[in-house]
Amino acid sequence: MTLPNAVSRFCVSVGVIIMAFAGPTAWGGLPATQLEQQRALFQSVFESVERGEWTAVDALSSDDRYTLEQYALWPDLRAAWLRANIDSVSGSEVDAFVQQYGTLRPARELRYRYALNFALHNDLPGYLRIYEQFYQGQDIEKLDCLALQAEIEAGRHRRVELRAIDLWLVGKSQVSECDPVFEYLDERKLLGLVEYQRRYRLAIDARNFTLARWLAKRINQRYVDETTEWLQAEKDPADFLERKRSGSDDEILREQLTYAVERLTYRDPEIALKLWDRVSGKYTFSEAQKLLTARHIALWTARDGLPGAYELLLALTPAAWNDEVLRWRARTSLRESRWARLLADIALMADSERSGEEWRYWQAIASIESGLALPAVTDLESLRRERSFYGFLSADKLGEDYALDSAALLVDEEKLAKLESRPDVIRARELFLVGLDSRGRSEWDAVVRYLPDDAKVQAAILAHRWGWHSRAIATAASLGEYGDLSLRYPLPYKENFEASSDLARISPTWAYGIARSESLFMHDVRSHAGAVGLMQIMPATGRDVAEKIQVPYAGLITLTDPASNIRLGTTYLAQMSERYGGNQVLATAAYNAGPHRVDQWLPANGTVDARIWIENIPFNETREYVKRVLAAQAIFHWRMTGKISRLSDELLLVQARQESQRVARR
C-alpha cells in the first residue's frame, strides 16, 4: 500500500533534496540508510493503517517491524490505528498510549477523539472524567456543552445554570452540542423575556439577523417587525433609505439607517452619499454616527476612484481622521498627479506611517515633480539600499544597481547539531519528509515559537537544508533576517517551473514570484477561499484550465501535485497576461483578486502610470500582493541569471478597459 500518487511524487522530490545533504550518518544520529528505510516502511503502511487496518504492519518481517517501531513516527502510526478503531478499542489501550506518549500531538489528538467518543455513545460520565482532567477552563464551547449535558445527567443543576446562561448570551448560533443544554434551561423556565431580549440585542449588534429573527419570534411581534426592517436594510439598502426619508426618530431606526448607508456604500458610494444627504438632516443622528458614516462614504468613494473623493476626505473633521483617511488622501492626490498636495498629505501622517518605504518613496517623487530634486535624491539613495518594491523603484529612478548581495545566515555547528538532535525537531522533520506537511508545520511552529533567537537562526538553516522552504523562510522572517537570498528565495521544482513557463510563454521568474507569494512553496496548503497548492488554484479554475490544455484533472490530487499545479498555474497566469495585453501588473492583480475586479479598477479613459495604479488598488491584500510579486520576480531573476531585471521595465502603462481589450485581441 502506498500514499496517493501526488503525495508519493512529492515525497520522491523531497527525497532527492534530502539525499543531497545526507552523508553516511543522517540527522538524529541514525545512519542515513536506516532513516530512509524507516520512511519507506512508514509510507508503505500508513494509508491502510489510517483506514483502521493493521494487516500491512503485521505482514512486515520481524526485522522491518522492529525498524519501524524505532522510528520517530511510530506513535503517529499507532495513533492513526487507534483513532480509526476508536469504537472498538479498549479504554486501557487508549490510556496506555496516552500515558506513554502524552506530550506528543498524536496522543493529544487521540485523547480528544476518545473523549468525544464517550459523548457520542452517551457515556457522559466517562466523558466528564476526561473533560475535568484536561479540558475544563479552556473555553471550547463544544466540549463545555457536552460537559454540561453530563452535569445535567448527574443532577448538578446549580453548576449547569450559571455556565449555561453564559453560553446562551452570545450573538451567534452556538454549536449543536449546546442545544440540549439550552432546552434544559427552557424547560426549567430559566430563559425568560429578559434573557431573550439581551441575546436578541447581541445578535443585532453582531448583524446576525437569522439568529435575531429566531429570537424575535419568541419575544413578540414588535421584535419580529424590527428584524424584518433590519433584513430589508441589509438586502436592499437603497430601497430602505428611500422608504425611510421620514419616520419616527427613534434610536433603532437611526441605527438601521446608518447600517443601510454602510451596506449601500460598498455597492455604490455615490448613491449612498445622495441618500445619506437626504436622511441625515431629518433624524437626530449622534455625532459619532455622522462622523463614522461620512468617513465610510469618503473612503469608499476614494477606493473606487470616483470624482469628488478628495473633497469628501478633505471635508472630514480632524476627529474623523485616522491612518486610512490620510493614506487615501495621499493616494487620491497621487492618482490626480497633484504633487504639492501629495506632499501636504504625507506631512499630516503620523511619523511611523510617514517613515515607511511607501511614503518615503512618494515624498521623494513628489519633491522631484515639484522642483525639489536635491533632498529627494538623498531620500532615494537611502531607499535604494532596500531589497524591496520601493527599493528597486528608487534604484531605477537613480539608474543604480539593486541591493542584491546575499548575506548567508551564519552556521553555528554546535548549536545546529544540538537542535537537530532534539526529538521534537526530528518529529517535525520526519512528518515533512514522509509527506505529512501540515502536521509537520504545526509541530515545527510549536518548537520554534519558544526557541531563543540564536537557535531560531539555526532552525531556519536546518529547514533550508532539508528543502522545507516555507519553514525556512518563515523562521528567518520572524527574526527580521532578510539577507540570505538563497534561503528566502529558493528555487524548488526548477525544471517544472522552467518547462511549464516555457509552454505558457511567460517568465519562470514571474511564476516563481507568484508561487512564493501564494504559498511559500507549500504544495498542500489550502486557503480559506478554497485555493489549493503551490500556485493556489481554485478547483473550478484548475478544471477549466486543464480542459483547455487537455491534461488530466483529478481535483485535489492534481492540485496538490507540484508539477501539475505549476502547469495549471502558469497556464492561468498566461491567460491573465493575454487578457490584459501583456501587462504584468494587471495580470498579477487579476491572479489574486480575479479579472472581474481588475476590469472594474481600470481607468475609464486614457492611461495611468502603473505605479500609481498599484497604489490605488482598493484591496489592501491585492495591493501588497502585486508589490510583493513584482519585487520577488526581480530577485528570482537575479538568482537564476545573475543579472538585474529592472522592475520599472515591467510597469507598462495601465490603459482604459476598452483599449486593454483591443490590445489583448491583437
Q: Is residue 581 within a helix (H) or strand (E), and if so which, with residue range?
A: none
Instruction: State how far the Cα of 447 lies from the Cα of 453, in Å rounded to an integer.
Output: 13
Whether the CB-CB separation of 269 and 297 falls below 8 Å is answered with: yes
pLDDT-based confidence at residue 12 (cuts at 50, 70, 90): very low
Q: Domain locations in the chain?
A: 5-162, 236-321, 496-665
CATH number at 496-665: 1.10.530.10
pLDDT-based confidence at residue 270 (cuts at 50, 70, 90): very high
pLDDT-based confidence at residue 30 (cuts at 50, 70, 90): low
Residue 16 has pLDDT above 70, yes or no: no
What is the reported pLDDT for 242? Answer: 95
101 residue type, one letter: Y
In three-state form (DSSP H/G/I as H, E/B as E, the rest C), the secondary structure along 38-59 is HHHHHHHHHHHHHCCCCHHHHC
Instruction: State how far the Cα of 655 lies from the Cα of 666, in Å rounded to an integer.
Output: 15
pLDDT-based confidence at residue 515 (cuts at 50, 70, 90): very high
Residue 9 has pLDDT above 50, yes or no: no
Q: How high is the mean pLDDT of the chain?
A: 93
What is the reported pLDDT for 247? Answer: 78
Q: Which residue has the cell 456604500?
A: 265
Q: Which DSSP state fits 408?
A: P
Residue 602 has pLDDT above 70, yes or no: yes
pLDDT digits (tens, 9 = 90+) for 421-430: 999 999 999 9
pLDDT-based confidence at residue 375 (cuts at 50, 70, 90): confident
What is the reported pLDDT for 25? Answer: 42
pLDDT-based confidence at residue 171 (cuts at 50, 70, 90): very high
* 518 flagged as catalytic: yes
pLDDT digits (tens, 9 = 90+) for 231-250: 999 999 999 999 998 878 99
Reading the block at residue 454, the C-alpha cell is 540564536
Least confident interval from 25-29, 271-275, 334-338, 484-488: 25-29
pLDDT digits (tens, 9 = 90+) for 446-488: 999 999 999 999 999 999 999 999 999 999 999 999 999 999 9
pLDDT digits (tens, 9 = 90+) for 428-452: 999 999 999 999 999 999 999 999 9
pLDDT-based confidence at residue 373 (cuts at 50, 70, 90): confident
Total residues belonging to the chain = 666
| Annotated catalytic residue within 161, 518, 547, 621 | 518
